[in-house]
Structure 1
Amino acid sequence: MSKIAIKISTNAPFSKSLLPLRNHTGLGISVIKNKIENKDFFAETDANDIDDMENLKGLVDKLFKLGAAVKIFDSDEYGEGIFDYQEISYEEFSNNIDRLKEIAEELQDYDDALSEER
């Protein structure tokens, strides 16, 4: 299973990024501060879960508005190592979400067609 995660280096005051990070991750203030200082991953999510991906995109959008520098990473379990992360662009991230939505719609259409045949 592929995963998506983010890293944050904040250019804005730490306090501005704190609330959205806390709301999304449920982590404590000191843990969030340490993760930012150590450039650790935040908000790791399943890359095939549309709802989780859209929630993560909402967090990334909020952080961008607050002046945080956000890097998005994708893991590929079939890559060199399990969950070996590689940085992707915001555009690739958004395209992945759009692709997941299209696949879900196609599957729903297929299921609907099968139901009508019965």
Structure 2
Amino acid sequence: MSKIAINISPNSPFNKCILLLRRYTGLGITEIKSKIENKDFFAETDANDLDNMENLKELVDNLLKLNANLKIFDSNEYGEGIFNYQEISYNEFINNINRLKEIMEELQDYDDATTDEV
């Protein structure tokens, strides 16, 4: 299972981002500040869950509007429980979401076609 996560640079405008991050993560201010200072991941989500990916996109877009310095990471599983994160661009992130939407649509079309046959 692949995951997507973000981290935020300590140079980001903390005061502007705090409410948005609290709303999305449910973490307290101290925890958020600690994650930013330690360059920990925020909002880690399943890369195959379209709803979660779109929510993460909304968070990323809002953080970018606030001039936050953030990085997006994609993981590839190379064994049970081991994830190796690699930084991806915003465009790659959007392409992942679009590809997931296309797959979901194709699966729905296939499901509709097989249902019609019965």
Alignment-derived partner of residue 4 in structure 2? 4
Cα-Cα RMSD: 1.4
Render the CA deviation track for 1:74-101: whole Å, top value 9, x for unaligned: 110037x821100000000000000000
Ranges in structure 1 where 5+ consecutive residues have no aligned partner: none
Runs of 4+ more than 4 Å apart: none
| TM-score normalised over the length of structure 2 | 0.94
Matched, 1:51 2:51: yes
**Aligned amino acid, residue 106 of structure 2:** E
Decide whether the 8 Å contact of 2:5 with 2:41 is kept in 1: yes
| TM-score normalised over the length of structure 1 | 0.94
Aligned residue-pair number:
117
Counterparts of 1:46 and 1:13, CA distance in 2: 27
3-state secondary structure, aligned to 1:68: coil
Decide whether the 8 Å contact of 1:10 with 1:67 is kept in 2: no
Task: Report how far residue 70 of structure 1 moved.
Answer: 1.0
**Aligned amino acid, residue 97 of structure 1:** I
Task: Report how far residue 13 of structure 1 moved.
Answer: 2.9
Identity %: 74
